[in-house]
A and B are shown apart, each in its own frame.
Chain A
């Protein structure tokens, strides 16, 4: 019987080419957009090289100082991190670094735009860069303010025509650095991992930053286990409760948190001062956007399915007249919709792979790796099947419950 249902489904799909095209287009297009969006989100939030261990990492990237008249939300300063983040219990390792700043360098008479991040030695222990040449600088390099740098392979290509960069000198921000390591280029979407040149924090021109509470620094802490996140956050909050305000007249409240990458985006989008669950709000916004996006193709699919079922009312009547029970008819329409969805899913999968490779080729997000997330793809197919079944099978079920004579007359749902 199942084989016959599938055979009938394929025959119906072949015969009703326009309906088939519209339905398959709706299913596959929805899946493609879903997959591209998920791949982009995945590229930002999932632990992947050089942030492979970020499921064990929390970061401080935002600090807000607020008072009765005004407030400011910005990056934490070196002093803030040193005083309130360094030395937290249950932390396996901790790193401190500047934001990746855009700057222009001159090399052999050429003007080159690049990004520089200054880090400590622990940065290279927590992040897992795969070195193509040489290796990272150490905490000792940082303490001694050695003028050494790590660059990306893309910078090596730009600066040295792809030849070995080890021992070569580059001039940045009025300082000369010796290249000691080369790593693969990192996508700009990786908040902590991204830069094009890395140098020790110790090479900063002055020491003024060391006491500042706000500035252009960030920090990450590596927990032994994500289970320790709560305890680490609790201790950080306790430390902040004793925050010493430099200007207590204007500022009397501090807001900062140890965030996962997703929590950081939620903090920046929903607001640092928001006291509710930012992650939940951001998730709700994303789900709402996804629902709004899928509503249009879904409504189309529903209306096409409804008109198709009404068109086939007489067929349902005939099948009932010749011995099909309601259950049998529902089975037939479920199979038809599942077959349609699976074909749409297969087309959607191929198109998703093509679309993601096109996005990668166009370098919309340079150096980003976009993968087809099979789990999300599976959810997408299930969602399409659910819509297909609800929109296709529900009217068929209503029709199958009619007296056959009413279905034969064309049926009104």
Chain B
């Protein structure tokens, strides 16, 4: 499902060159739930961003769903992200001007799903994360846990095959974190969604199928 071979990522400024990831090799099977762990600044989020096509590797081979992605243009990348990938961010990244249901509908807009089915799918996704009663709220009217559940609803509304979660529990208390982890497990078990999750929390990492550990941009386990 996800294949990384000899992936490097270097950030360059005028004066400094920072090697964020070095020689990463990783395969994630369909339906697998993998967590990525490591200290701050070790390259966890960078790795997740590369898998999610939010950033491009400096070199190496990246294949998703059997296709090499390096030569794809903007339109093809956008289409793949829309149909196959879902994202959950640590800071939720909900659009504050839009109501909960409008936020959840965003991926469907770019699939050109019509109004009524789009709303039905969005309501179903919100129902699945337990927020059916908050569809007409604005994000700022919700708690952190509720906002993250909206973000998960947005990530799963298009039924992506791969869900990428960057510290989804990072801004939540432990009880709320457990709830989010339950939802992710449910998605993985019932829908067979492949999940790659960055986390700092060993307890949550232990609930996944496999832990990948990074240190100073290198894969150490």
Contact = CB atoms under 8 A, between A and B. Distances in A.
Nearest to A316: B95
A326 B97 CA distance: 21
Given A403-B56, A405-B54, A408-B54, A323 B82 contact: yes
Interface stretch (B62-70, B105-113, B121-129): B105-113
Q: Indicate the member of A12, A323, A328 with the most B CB atoms within 10 Å.
A: A323
B93 interface: yes
Q: Indicate the member of A15, A325, A326 with the most B CB atoms within 10 Å.
A: A325
A403 B93 contact: no
Contact of A322 (B56, B82, B98, B102): B82
A284 B75 CA distance: 45
Given A11-B102, A315-B95, A322 B154 contact: yes
B142 interface: no
A318 B55 contact: no
B93 A12 contact: no
Given A321-B52, A322-B106, A323-B110, A328 B78 contact: yes
Contact of A325 (B56, B74, B102, B158): B74
A352 B154 CA distance: 45
Nearest to A327: B75
Interface string A225-261: 0000000000000000000000000000000000000
B33 interface: no
Contacts, number: 73
A156 interface: no
**Interface residues on chain A, size class:** 20 to 34
A318 B54 contact: no
Contacts of A328: 78, 110
Nearest to A400: B74
Interface residues of B, number: 31
Contacts of A12: 97
A328 B111 CA distance: 12
A11 B82 contact: no
Contact of B112 (A1, A11, A317, A325): A1
B83 interface: yes
Contact of A318 (B82, B95, B102): B95
Interface string A281-318: 00000000000000000000000000000000011011
A308 to B, nearest CB: 11
Contacts of B109: 1, 4
A8 interface: yes
B110 A403 contact: no
Given A4-B109, A319-B106, A322-B107, A404 B54 contact: yes
Contacts of B87: 321-322
Question: Nearest 6 pairs between A and B by C-beta?
Answer: A323-B82, A323-B110, A325-B78, A322-B107, A404-B54, A405-B54
Given A321-B52, A327-B75, 15 more contacts: A8-B98, A318-B106, A319-B106, A320-B54, A320-B78, A321-B81, A321-B87, A321-B93, A322-B110, A323-B111, A324-B78, A403-B54, A404-B54, A405-B54, A406-B55
Interface of B: 49, 52-56, 74-75, 78-79, 81-83, 85, 87, 89, 93-98, 102, 106-107, 109-112, 154, 158
19 contacts: A1-B109, A11-B97, A16-B97, A318-B94, A320-B54, A321-B81, A321-B93, A322-B106, A322-B154, A323-B107, A323-B111, A324-B78, A325-B79, A327-B74, A328-B110, A404-B54, A404-B55, A408-B54, A408-B93
